[in-house]
Structure 1
Amino acid sequence: MKKIRLGHSDLYVTPICLGTMTFGEQVDEPTAHAILNRSFERGVDFIDTAEMYAVPTRKETFGATETIIGNWFAKHPGMRAKTVLATKVAGPSRGMDWVRQGSGMTAEDIVASCENSLRRLQTDVIDLYQIHWPERHVPAFGNLYYDPCKETSRTPIREQLEALAKLVEAGKVRAIGLSNETPYGVHEFVRLAEEHRLPRVATVQNVYNLLNRTVENGLDETMHRLGVSLLAYSPLGYGLLTGKYDAGGSTGPGAPAGARITLYESVRKQRWGRPGSLAAARRYNQLAREHGMTPTKFALAFCNSKWQVASTILGVTSVAQLDESIDSWGATLSPEVLAEIDQLRLEMHDPAF
């Protein structure tokens, strides 16, 4: 696969990234290691994880995903040097008091989280270290609007950048990124980095798929003009865009027993379990079939066709799913098909915002 440069950094990655948030919850360690092995066999050497994984989050599985990946590195000497490894520091608690206490995310929190991730991953350096969600109160994870009355920010962006700078200067982090960010946040991180000679963000990892194209509501222009790359997560909409829910609702007849939305009530209550998300997914999946493509191939071809996307993060629970996704990669959609998709978006908007 042709490598893609991330932002202004010296990181070059494949257009597919292996997402790992299921490792330690739906995926046991032997299966996770088999998926990692297969990923490298297929040429995908870009791995994304986070300190708070596995998902859905529980105290018992906090840090499990990084630990599983670290054990894989230990079993395969030399593979760490061949890997572009990304992980994330969790933002303010969001009810996960096992990650950190309180509502903030201090400079000390960032440094401590990085040290813990390095230990679990059994590595000396993280290639891309990302802030998982803003320290500010922002519209994300199903919240549509910004409400200044809910603002609880305590750590200025400059202070966060200075903490990240210390990690870069110490050789523990190569490049930095953001996740679940807004245009304002990206602008501020870049402006302050340039003004104070601090590390410049290379990436933003945001949800981007047929059911949620909010990246295109202004964030894409910000990233393009500032030279920041998009890492698109949930390209298959938590499985809705694979077609596996088309025969029934997330819990009704036809719903697959082992799928995330079926298994976890917490997921069903989020944006992916909304009736509008399910209904829109069925429309896009039908459009895929009308054009002679599987829903999975169609959804991935959409990401592959869009100039906004640098690398697409694929989350899987089996080697077979990984092979299906990689086999589906490389297809693109014609301008005419993209126009049909745009018409559906005008009708159904972004139901999984």
Structure 2
Amino acid sequence: MDYRPLGLTDLKVSALCLGTMTFGEQNSEAEAHAQLDYARAHGINFIDTAEMYPVPPKASTFTRTESIVGNWLKRQPREQIVLATKAAGPRRNMQWIRGGPPHLDRANLRAAVDGSLQRLQTDYIDLYQLHWPERNVPMFGQYQFDPAAEFDEAGEQRPWVSIHEQLQTLDELVKEGKIRHFGVSNEHAWGVMQFLHEAEKHGLPRIASIQNCYNLINRGFEFSLAEISYREQVSLLAYSPLAFGHLSGKYLPGGDGEGRATLFKGFAQRYEKPNVAPACAAYAELAAEIGMQPAELALSFVYQRWFVTSTIIGATSMKQLQQNIAAWDKPLSKEVLQAIEALHLRYMNPAP
């Protein structure tokens, strides 16, 4: 296992990060703790969760994942774990989380952090992330910026808390020792650069990371964010490397077809686009030609990308987790990477 610097911080994170979004919905607490133990035994020191987990988000289950992780964490040597969690923002219909929340303002961020610390049974969070931007941006399957969404039905501009104000609150939380570092998630190029600009301009801490979707059928990060990540030393934490299981081949003819995309209707809209199935079939065929499982090919590709600091893997069974970790030791040859590029040119980002 490799251990890599997280942005410009002093943290070293494992190249694989255990994602926990199934804990409390598809996985029981005992299963979750078994996964956490297995991950630690195989060199993973990086755990990612969120206050809104498990998925799909529901009033009856939100915060359950953090509580499950917290019950495990209290028995671990805390200094050996890099713990990441996330604050839910507005613009999604989740009224059960702090009444919306309406904004990523000081009151909401402080309440979110305090709640996470209590559930995680720890005094500090190593990496605190804004789960998605407060401002109007395309996300979770949307792919076009719409200026009209800046305004409400009365034609008034929708307010949002400035990035500067968000940074000020995060700075307070760092100074209080509640969080060590912070990052963004589901963010775009403008937002990343604004966070960096405002931090430099006002002497505030800079973001350490960006957690965005990245996989064989969603390589949008390469268009502009990869350069920003390199030049500004902001680490990519790549989530959904198997595209909600689509790149495992299980939703193709002959696959078992069981997973989040079928269990939770409407939850995986990013992958309900016309070229997703043909692209997944093409990558599965390439995997078969070289004697690999489709999931191994997809994971190894993400693991090898030069701009990926850590890949967030998640599983609903121990067998899946074992396969995901084992793929780390199966790098792809130059010839296979060239074949992947040829397929990418044919099916470019069908799941933005």
1:308 counterpart residue number: 307
Maintained 8 Å contact 1:86/1:128? yes
1:46 counterpart residue number: 46
Instruction: Write out per-residue CA displacement over residues 219-247 of structure 1, whole angstroms, 9 at most, x where no aligned residue.
Output: 11111111101000000111111122222
Matched residue SS, 2:316: coil
Structure 2 CA distance for partners of 1:17 and 1:82, relative to 1, 3 Å: same
How far apart are residue 93 of structure 1 and its match?
4.2
Instruction: Write out per-residue CA displacement over residues 142-182 of structure 1, whole angstroms, 9 at most, x where no aligned residue.
Output: 11111122123410000000000011000011111000011
Unaligned 5+ runs, structure 1: 249-253
Note if 1:110 corresponds to 2:109: yes
Matches within 5 A, 1:1-353: 1-74=1-74, 76=75, 78-102=76-100, 103-151=102-150, 152-247=158-253, 254-257=255-258, 259-268=259-268, 270-353=269-352
Question: Aligned Cα RMSD in Å?
Answer: 1.4
Maintained 8 Å contact 2:240/2:313? yes
TM-score (norm 1): 0.94
Q: Identity percentage over the alignment?
A: 49
Maintained 8 Å contact 2:91/2:134? no
Bigger Cα displacement from structure 2, 150-159 vs 185-194: 150-159
Matched residue SS, 1:59: coil
Maintained 8 Å contact 1:209/1:236? yes
How far apart are residue 112 of structure 1 and its match?
0.9
Matched residue SS, 2:244: helix
Matched residue SS, 1:109: helix
Instruction: Write out per-residue CA displacement over residues 295-324 of structure 1, whole angstroms, 9 at most, x where no aligned residue.
Output: 111111111221111100001112221111
Task: Give the Cα separation in 1 of the matches to 2:99 and 2:146.
Answer: 23
Task: Give the Cα separation in 1 of the matches to 2:124 and 2:305.
Answer: 31
2:153 counterpart residue number: none
Task: Give the Cα separation in 2 of the matches to 1:215 and 1:225.
Answer: 14
1:251 counterpart residue number: none
Task: Give the Cα separation in 2 of the matches to 1:178 and 1:15.
Answer: 18
Task: Give the Cα separation in 2 of the matches to 1:163 and 1:278.
Answer: 43
Q: Number of aligned pairs?
A: 344
Instruction: Write out per-residue CA displacement over residues 268-312 of structure 1, whole angstroms, 9 at most, x where no aligned residue.
Output: 5x1123342122111111111112211111111111221111100
Instruction: Write out per-residue CA displacement over residues 37-71 of structure 1, whole angstroms, 9 at most, x where no aligned residue.
Output: 11111111210000110001110011010010011
How far apart are residue 189 of structure 1 and its match?
0.3
How far apart are residue 80 of structure 1 and its match?
2.5
Matched residue SS, 1:256: coil
Task: Give the Cα separation in 1 of the matches to 2:336 and 2:252.
Answer: 21
Maintained 8 Å contact 2:249/2:295? yes
Task: Give the Cα separation in 1 of the matches to 2:346 and 2:136.
Answer: 29
Letter paired with 1:203: S
TM-score (norm 2): 0.94
Matched residue SS, 1:117: helix
Matched residue SS, 2:275: helix
Letter paired with 2:149: K
Matched residue SS, 1:232: strand
Maintained 8 Å contact 1:52/1:62? yes
Maintained 8 Å contact 1:93/1:99? no
Maintained 8 Å contact 1:137/1:153? no
Maintained 8 Å contact 2:51/2:66? yes
How far apart are residue 12 of structure 1 and its match?
0.5
Letter paired with 1:160: Q
How far apart are residue 3 of structure 1 and its match?
0.9
Task: Give the Cα separation in 2 of the matches to 1:69 and 1:184.
Answer: 33
Maintained 8 Å contact 1:304/1:330? no
How far apart are residue 263 of structure 1 and its match?
1.0
Bigger Cα displacement from structure 2, 148-157 vs 113-122: 148-157
Task: Give the Cα separation in 1 of the matches to 2:115 and 2:49.
Answer: 13
Matched residue SS, 1:311: strand
Matched residue SS, 1:341: helix
